[in-house]
Chain A
């Protein structure tokens, strides 16, 4: 077989396949002869598996892995589809036309045509199907017919190795991608893909079965590369040999992925063998012939092929790294997966946990790499690893090999201080992916919903031993990379399928029974009727035959179009109302001018044209209303000076349709700065202005952008200067400083939330503006706080402009409510973030967007949960900017375990930190900072580690070593970061009250990746990078955050996700400074004069670098702050305080922190 062209080359044909992220699921039902999957009681670690039907002995149904690609590709036209195919696109169409899911089934397939159907199901979701024509092109020499003929396929597998691989590839492919995290042998996989045409596509990433603990992402699916083919033949023969080979070989080796785990070989082998054996033992050729089984056939093939060689020889040993692997590996996720998958998974399992989090990640994994689920569709292969049978094996091995990590603490009698080798301490790698791989293919991506621990305790007593926060992070509108958009589904008149009792939305974990007439809710176990127009027969494996055409049954994240019963009023138009302070300080700082300019430039980009509505109100000591009636040529201004009882001077035209009144709006914006440029009024009547705005907006709701530059001084809601009283710190009154002074603001916030108004506060403080009070408005209305201390247009102007423009133009979900459902026996008890609870589990979000994440704590209500898995479903009901009511549903599952160690292994540091920091920040509103740091951060950490120590300390008495789980190795570091973060650090002198509160508000909305980079900023050496390196971010060498690393001869950049701090050493070569900053800035020593004209290489590279760094974090504009060494106090404040590992001013350093932790763990242990 000739090598197939790399998939990349084939994009038009197989768009999906090329995208690494898309995860097609692999074939659903597994091959014949597999044993029904039975949850084993022993192994708690089983991961949620797509429902399977126990009754059908022959197969187990795997859920198709969620198809991450937005586009659904129609199966080949010839294929017989279930008649119900909801969104068919003509087969000929390129995948690109993903969106229209709701189209009526274009093609009705005849059930009779087994051949096509048979392979169809196997194929990973839509993408797999190629139009017949496409096939040849994609892989030069593919045998078209094989797949179609069930009989042939089966026989072929068993007989010839070649065919075997082929079949494998198809079935397995999905796995391969899934296997990403695990070492996959590319070569093997590739081979299979080659043989079958259609199959090759399958190679989308399917997440490994076991992903739960590991953070590693699946490898990007790379289009199958030519080299693969050649490799195949080699590999096959090699396989048996390899078996013989001692473990020494690297199964993973072939995989290009940088997984460096020394996988315990045996485990992998064993598991593989098991899987193989099963498969081989029950090869049921017959199954292929029958149409219904067809889907299963693929998997079946896989196994057999596998089995032949495999049975005798465990897969793992497969020929050493195929030469191809290096080149191919990355490229071919899917294909590689086929063979390798089993191996890889087997291997990976053991190894996966430990190395997974920090170290494993390779650059290869895209940051957002497929979130997909680890379980691939192929049941058989996965089974070996994922399922009970295999699990115990790997567990045992793992236990021996590396159950935990330890850090040697030399805290002997000699040194009280307990010294630690600072260089040995764990630190995050640059490319760490921020999201763990999901534990099941049908899970939504971690960026949408992430549990702090991917294995949940099954009893209250176990939960009580888990001292870290137990809960989840929900980010329903997280920005998805291209090609991974959430599919939109329209059920039309039939209504959305939901559970009658618990109102859960239909999801991939629901089990269909009674031949498809009923479905069992996975949350509450209620049997629901399936509406007649949603009915679809089940195949022999108990899965619906149309699973692959219905994203809601195959993917963890979907978006439903909500019919009229989900509306209490007609969908609102996007409303933007600007409440602008025009008092003296606002004019003086230049805020007004920039705000107005930015608004003007964004008018055309406001979402929701032509329904968008807009309005303005300005205020100083009086309120200025503007009539923007479209018939006027100039806006009409009305001044209301009655602050006690503000009224609307006119009922209409204060809020107008932008498209109709655009010229008037522009005229207003043009004249606003000049109208007030001589305003000397320093008063600020915030309260009355807010009340007036409320009257204007209460009809529709919408977004209120509130620009404020001084302390409210008139009317209701006036505030006192209270931020400078440092005597309050350390007393019981300290927390009250961080709470609103006047209940007016809370009441106002509640009213705003009730009327669907979201407040985004832009505060410009020359002096104290009491963010604690003003920010409350945003806190309860799902808004956001922006703060520009000492605003100066030339310094922060760009930041303000960017952030205001983003606020105005980013896609926004209006009048939204968010509810997270979970199965019986547990519930979310506390929520943290910016929102208001409308009922105990319903978050009201008047306007929410992609920059807001929420965290919640989970509580177990029942002492013992008997189910295997816990399911969670977050549903965000909202109105899109174009006036459509939609429901975005993310479903996730996690296994329930009875073993604490399992929990530790599956812990997710990012989510834990998120929840922990929000709990700490909220408790800072009611208790002193000292107490917060002690109780909410440090003592939790200590208790968790002590518990872990108790688990293993006895068996492995390692004196002088701190034992911690691999998954949590970075937790102490991040906790230290939290301990020192702006919001919680020190006392009065360490941060002004406003800055502290701004940090608090910001941290209450930010997503996990942003939080982690804030807690432990990325630092690297800038001058070397700019002079020698290319401007590729990946080449950056991340440095530990300690001032020892700051070399006076160099320049360093610290990126904390909020700003860039550039530290220039005192003996930094002058010519470098000049190139970087321009000669003027260097001579005058005033960095404000720095110019980045890009007229030399350094400057050019610097600009590129900033651009690419900023593009990774679009939520905020990261401003550059230059600091010269020794420039106090600026250096201390900007740089030294960010040196998390240092110990400035009485704070602990990283090494001390660890030895402190060690001592405390030991103390009562």
Chain B
């Protein structure tokens, strides 16, 4: 059970990080919309976090696949497909020259992503706690079992 716990713990931090990235990107976009930031800075700070987020998401999906968490793989598959697709079309980065024309679209996409990561976050927390509790209980059981001997 140790590795299981490790997996969820890793997932937890990863998802939290991805969540943070997406929220940051969204903030950049809305700052841009409200004119608190210029498009150059906005685009460059968004673009800085696009790839890391993709990598995190992709590796998590890979990890679930390897560890046989099929449900998690299914949940992650559409997002992975979307990301890979964007990357292959080289449209993953925000285009600073057209940023205002795609602002609405980019925001919408990121809001959906945000929803996805929030969902992931809760699932992961649940699984993490569940796994932890189970392992503790089991550990207790083992311990008590030992003690009982």
* Residues of chain A having any CB pair with chain B under 8 Å: 743, 746-747, 749-750, 753-754, 776, 780, 830, 836-840, 842
List B61-100 residues whose CB lies under 8 Å from chain A.
Answer: 90, 95-97, 99-100
Sample 10 A-B pairs with CB under 8 A, ordered by A number.
A743-B90, A747-B96, A750-B40, A750-B97, A837-B99, A839-B35, A840-B32, A840-B35, A840-B100, A842-B35
Write out the residue numbers on chain B whose beta carbons fall within 8 Å of the beta carbon of A830. Answer: 101
B38 is an interface residue with CB less than 8 A from chain A: yes
Write out the residue numbers on chain A whose beta carbons fall within 8 Å of the beta carbon of B39. Answer: 750, 836-839
Closest to B42 in A: A839
Per the bound structure, the CA–CA distance linking A840 and B33 in Å amounts to: 6
Write out the residue numbers on chain B whose beta carbons fall within 8 Å of the beta carbon of A747. Answer: 96
Q: Does B35 contact A749, Cβ atoms closer than 8 Å?
A: no
Per the bound structure, the CA–CA distance linking A743 and B94 in Å amounts to: 11
Per the bound structure, the CA–CA distance linking A754 and B97 in Å amounts to: 11
Q: Does B90 contact A840, Cβ atoms closer than 8 Å?
A: no
Which 7 residue pairs across A and B have the least CB separation, nearest first? A839-B35, A837-B100, A750-B96, A780-B97, A746-B97, A754-B40, A750-B97
Q: How far is the CB of B13 from chain A (nearest CB, A)?
A: 33
Q: Does B97 contact A749, Cβ atoms closer than 8 Å?
A: yes
Per the bound structure, the CA–CA distance linking A840 and B39 in Å amounts to: 9
Closest to A747 in B: B96
Which listed residue (A836, A839, A840, A842) contacts B97, Cβ 8 A?
A836
Write out the residue numbers on chain A whose beta carbons fall within 8 Å of the beta carbon of B16. Answer: none
List B1-52 residues whose CB lies under 8 Å from chain A.
Answer: 32-33, 35, 38-40, 43
Q: How far is the CB of B116 from chain A (nearest CB, A)?
A: 27
Q: Does A838 contact B95, Cβ atoms closer than 8 Å?
A: no
Write out the residue numbers on chain B whose beta carbons fall within 8 Å of the beta carbon of A836. Answer: 39, 97
Per the bound structure, the CA–CA distance linking A838 and B96 in Å amounts to: 10
Which listed residue (A746, A776, A840, A842) contacts B96, Cβ 8 A?
A746
Write out the residue numbers on chain B whose beta carbons fall within 8 Å of the beta carbon of A840. Answer: 32-33, 35, 100, 103
Write out the residue numbers on chain B whose beta carbons fall within 8 Å of the beta carbon of A839. Answer: 32, 35, 38-39, 100
Of listed B99, B100, B101, B103, residue having the most chain A CB within 10 A:
B100
Q: How far is the CB of B86 from chain A (nearest CB, A)?
A: 14
Write out the residue numbers on chain A whose beta carbons fall within 8 Å of the beta carbon of B103. Answer: 840
Per the bound structure, the CA–CA distance linking A836 and B39 in Å amounts to: 10
Write out the residue numbers on chain B whose beta carbons fall within 8 Å of the beta carbon of A750. Answer: 39-40, 43, 96-97
Q: How far is the CB of A964 from chain B (nearest CB, A)?
A: 32
Q: Does B38 contact A838, Cβ atoms closer than 8 Å?
A: yes
Write out the residue numbers on chain B whose beta carbons fall within 8 Å of the beta carbon of A842. Answer: 35
Of listed A746, A780, A836, A842, residue having the most chain B CB within 10 A:
A836
Q: How far is the CB of A726 from chain B (nearest CB, A)?
A: 23
Per the bound structure, the CA–CA distance linking A842 and B37 in Å amounts to: 13
Of listed B39, B95, B103, residue having the most chain A CB within 10 A:
B39
Per the bound structure, the CA–CA distance linking A749 and B95 in Å amounts to: 11
Closest to B36 in A: A839
Closest to A751 in B: B40
How big is chain B's contact interface, by range? 10 to 19
Q: How far is the CB of A1002 from chain B (nearest CB, A)?
A: 19
Per the bound structure, the CA–CA distance linking A749 and B97 in Å amounts to: 8
Q: How far is the CB of A152 from chain B (nearest CB, A)?
A: 59
Q: How far is the CB of B93 from chain A (nearest CB, A)?
A: 8
Per the bound structure, the CA–CA distance linking A743 and B93 in Å amounts to: 11
Q: How far is the CB of A563 from chain B (nearest CB, A)?
A: 22
Closest to B38 in A: A838
Per the bound structure, the CA–CA distance linking A839 and B32 in Å amounts to: 7
Per the bound structure, the CA–CA distance linking A838 and B40 in Å amounts to: 8
Per the bound structure, the CA–CA distance linking A838 and B39 in Å amounts to: 6
Per the bound structure, the CA–CA distance linking A743 and B96 in Å amounts to: 11
Q: How far is the CB of B97 from chain A (nearest CB, A)?
A: 5
Closest to A840 in B: B100
Per the bound structure, the CA–CA distance linking A836 and B43 in Å amounts to: 14
Write out the residue numbers on chain A whose beta carbons fall within 8 Å of the beta carbon of B97. Answer: 746, 749-750, 753, 776, 780, 836
- Interface contacts beyond A754-B40, A839-B35: sample of 10 additional A-B pairs, CB < 8 Å, sorted by A: A747-B96, A749-B97, A753-B97, A776-B97, A780-B97, A837-B39, A837-B100, A840-B32, A840-B100, A840-B103
Per the bound structure, the CA–CA distance linking A837 and B39 in Å amounts to: 8
List B104-147 residues whose CB lies under 8 Å from chain A.
Answer: none
Per the bound structure, the CA–CA distance linking A220 and B103 in Å amounts to: 48
Per the bound structure, the CA–CA distance linking A749 and B103 in Å amounts to: 19
Write out the residue numbers on chain A whose beta carbons fall within 8 Å of the beta carbon of B33. Answer: 840
Write out the residue numbers on chain B whose beta carbons fall within 8 Å of the beta carbon of A754. Answer: 40
Closest to A831 in B: B100
Write out the residue numbers on chain A whose beta carbons fall within 8 Å of the beta carbon of B101. Answer: 830
Write out the residue numbers on chain A whose beta carbons fall within 8 Å of the beta carbon of B38. Answer: 838-839
Q: How far is the CB of A844 from chain B (nearest CB, A)?
A: 9
Per the bound structure, the CA–CA distance linking A1151 and B96 in Å amounts to: 45
Write out the residue numbers on chain B whose beta carbons fall within 8 Å of the beta carbon of A743. Answer: 90, 95
Per the bound structure, the CA–CA distance linking A746 and B96 in Å amounts to: 8
Closest to B93 in A: A743
Of listed A746, A749, A780, A837, residue having the most chain B CB within 10 A:
A837
Closest to A836 in B: B97
Closest to B43 in A: A750
Q: How far is the CB of B30 from chain A (nearest CB, A)?
A: 11
Per the bound structure, the CA–CA distance linking A1079 and B7 in Å amounts to: 91
Write out the residue numbers on chain B whose beta carbons fall within 8 Å of the beta carbon of A753. Answer: 97
Per the bound structure, the CA–CA distance linking A1099 and B101 in Å amounts to: 52
Per the bound structure, the CA–CA distance linking A754 and B99 in Å amounts to: 14
Per the bound structure, the CA–CA distance linking A389 and B51 in Å amounts to: 65
Write out the residue numbers on chain B whose beta carbons fall within 8 Å of the beta carbon of A776. Answer: 97
Per the bound structure, the CA–CA distance linking A743 and B97 in Å amounts to: 11
Q: How far is the CB of A1049 from chain B (nearest CB, A)?
A: 53
Write out the residue numbers on chain A whose beta carbons fall within 8 Å of the beta carbon of B90. Answer: 743
Write out the residue numbers on chain A whose beta carbons fall within 8 Å of the beta carbon of B35. Answer: 839-840, 842
Per the bound structure, the CA–CA distance linking A523 and B101 in Å amounts to: 25
Closest to A745 in B: B97
Q: How far is the CB of A910 from chain B (nearest CB, A)?
A: 25
Q: How far is the CB of A569 from chain B (nearest CB, A)?
A: 15
Per the bound structure, the CA–CA distance linking A837 and B99 in Å amounts to: 8
Q: How far is the CB of A845 from chain B (nearest CB, A)?
A: 14
Per the bound structure, the CA–CA distance linking A747 and B98 in Å amounts to: 11
Write out the residue numbers on chain A whose beta carbons fall within 8 Å of the beta carbon of B40. Answer: 750, 754
Of listed A743, A840, A842, residue having the most chain B CB within 10 A:
A840
Q: How far is the CB of A925 from chain B (nearest CB, A)?
A: 10
Closest to A842 in B: B35
Q: How far is the CB of B16 from chain A (nearest CB, A)?
A: 31
Write out the residue numbers on chain A whose beta carbons fall within 8 Å of the beta carbon of B99. Answer: 837
Per the bound structure, the CA–CA distance linking A754 and B39 in Å amounts to: 10
Q: How far is the CB of A95 from chain B (nearest CB, A)?
A: 43
Q: How far is the CB of B85 from chain A (nearest CB, A)?
A: 15
Write out the residue numbers on chain B whose beta carbons fall within 8 Å of the beta carbon of A746. Answer: 95-97
Closest to A830 in B: B101
Per the bound structure, the CA–CA distance linking A750 and B100 in Å amounts to: 13
Of listed B40, B43, B90, residue having the most chain A CB within 10 A:
B40
Per the bound structure, the CA–CA distance linking A842 and B96 in Å amounts to: 14
Per the bound structure, the CA–CA distance linking A749 and B96 in Å amounts to: 10
Q: How far is the CB of A78 from chain B (nearest CB, A)?
A: 52
Per the bound structure, the CA–CA distance linking A836 and B38 in Å amounts to: 11
Write out the residue numbers on chain B whose beta carbons fall within 8 Å of the beta carbon of A780. Answer: 97
Q: How far is the CB of B133 from chain A (nearest CB, A)?
A: 49
Closest to B96 in A: A750
Per the bound structure, the CA–CA distance linking A753 and B43 in Å amounts to: 14
Q: How far is the CB of A861 from chain B (nearest CB, A)?
A: 14
Per the bound structure, the CA–CA distance linking A525 and B39 in Å amounts to: 31
Q: How far is the CB of B54 from chain A (nearest CB, A)?
A: 17
Q: How far is the CB of B53 from chain A (nearest CB, A)?
A: 20
Per the bound structure, the CA–CA distance linking A837 and B103 in Å amounts to: 12
Closest to A754 in B: B40
Q: How far is the CB of A772 from chain B (nearest CB, A)?
A: 14
Write out the residue numbers on chain A whose beta carbons fall within 8 Å of the beta carbon of B32. Answer: 839-840
Q: How far is the CB of B76 from chain A (nearest CB, A)?
A: 28
Closest to B100 in A: A837
Of listed B35, B40, B96, residue having the most chain A CB within 10 A:
B96
Q: How far is the CB of A749 from chain B (nearest CB, A)?
A: 6
Q: How far is the CB of B101 from chain A (nearest CB, A)?
A: 7
